[in-house]
Amino acid sequence: MSTAHCPALLIAAPASGQGKTTVTAALARLHARQGRRVRVFKCGPDFLDPHWHQLASGQPVHNLDLWLNGEADIRARLHAAAASSDLILIEGVMGLFDGEPSAADLAIQLGLPVLAVIDAGAMAGTFGALVHGLRHYRPGLPWAGVLANRVAGEGHEQMLRTSVRADDLGAEPGGIDAGWLGALRRDAGFTLPERHLGLTVASELPDALARLDALADAMAATPLGRLDAAGWQRWAVAFEPVAQRPVVPLLQGRRVAVARDAAFCFIYPANLDALRALGAELAFFSPLADEPVPDGDALWLPGGYPELHADALAQGTRCRNSLAAHIAAGKPVWAECGGMMPLFDGLRLADGRRVPMWGLLPGEVAMQPRLVALGPQRWDTAQGALRGHSFHHSQTSSPLAPLAQTVPGSRFGRPEAVYGQGPVRASYFHAWFASNLEATAGLFTRAQS
């Protein structure tokens, strides 16, 4: 393999809620409409933003996290993307310097130019101070420029641009301010809707593509949006190949059923790739449609929004009975977070109403008014460490003694219980399968501990 060169930007911000997803999706949609091959990545363990980016780009979206993936895995994914793409866009996570590791760490280690998106809706001169701080807080940070978001009008934009110091704009010969990449107006039509776990899944909105087209049209009017292919070469990055060890097909000949619908939609495309690389045949089904578990050797119930579809899931007797039969036959089940919740006896919703669930594990789940847990997690299995994360608004009480506890990857985290009963393993822990393929195969072949 040879070095692959491709323009790349890491879209970051001073904090969450500034418009990173909006700008990333707008750029992806704009270039995809122009016939360019765009690959989008998302920093951190996020399931929701990638739905929008996949719709915008028409390509699968993988996650990049130095702790979750490891640097070698990230480099391999970016090299593969660069070899077949015209443009790579990477959306950051939280603020540019937030987290351990942060988006800034990724930018510095991989030489990725940073585009700073700043919500300027309630500021003028302070905008320049933020730009200066973001650019210079960490020595060696590759810098592309800044884009103002939620700008009131032309006068406001001029104030913002004037507030930025000339050396932070990086003026080029000929008077072109390379670092000022434009402004997006304040417009409710540009807002991507949210709910308690983040953005609403793009596939649930009939006007999702129209929203992205409106964003792309707005982006096309900015200096960044007007750049042609030659202009993007200023941010070309050389992505080196990475040697990877061969994958042993530990799931060869095994058929793994995977729940996938609006209630079970937190699925990393990279996790599906990992299962296929291990040799598994995947069979998808919809518990919401009361489809039975497909015939096979193992089952994965990924996370999602069971609390939004509790009544439909409770009424799905055909799905529930086939799942009970799968368990009675001793076939492995891996249920994570939202995929675990319906397995218990009942689910208490945010309004206090209790919905009887599938009753395949003893215990109750209750939605909470605020986030219960968030952060990286490691499960030390018999096959080694399996990395992942937790992110949930519910709490579980069960008489089951946990088979294991995960280890938080952050000093601020708390462990998550791994429950087990018969062939079922269930936890709030979301696994990143590629972090340990042997341990992943163990989830679908035998009881993991």
Active site residues: 337
Distance from C-alpha of 257 to C-alpha of 416, rounded to nearest angstrom:
25
Tokens 């942060």 correspond to what residue? 102
The alpha carbon dihedral of 74, 78, 81, 83 has a sign of negative
The pair of structure tokens assigned to 213 is 């087209």
Distance from C-alpha of 339 to C-alpha of 430, rounded to nearest angstrom:
10
CB 113 within 8 A of CB 144: yes
Q: Which of 308, 318, 266 is nearest to 287 (CA)?
A: 318
Q: Which of 204, 253, 191 is nearest to 19 (CA)?
A: 191
CA distances from 88 to 83, 148, 281, 382 (A): 11, 21, 30, 37
Task: Count other Cβ atoms within 10 Å, centred on residue 407.
Answer: 15
The pair of structure tokens assigned to 162 is 């004037």
Tokens 């507030």 correspond to what residue? 163
SS3 133: helix
Helices marked H in 2-125: 20-33, 49-57, 71-82, 103-110
Distance from C-alpha of 251 to C-alpha of 253, rounded to nearest angstrom:
6
Q: At what angle do helices 49-57 and 20-33 cross, to 10 degrees?
A: 20
Distance from C-alpha of 85 to C-alpha of 380, rounded to nearest angstrom:
37
Distance from C-alpha of 55 to C-alpha of 21, rounded to nearest angstrom:
12
Greatest extent of the chain over all pairs of C-alpha atoms, in Å: 74
CA 315 from centre of chain: 30
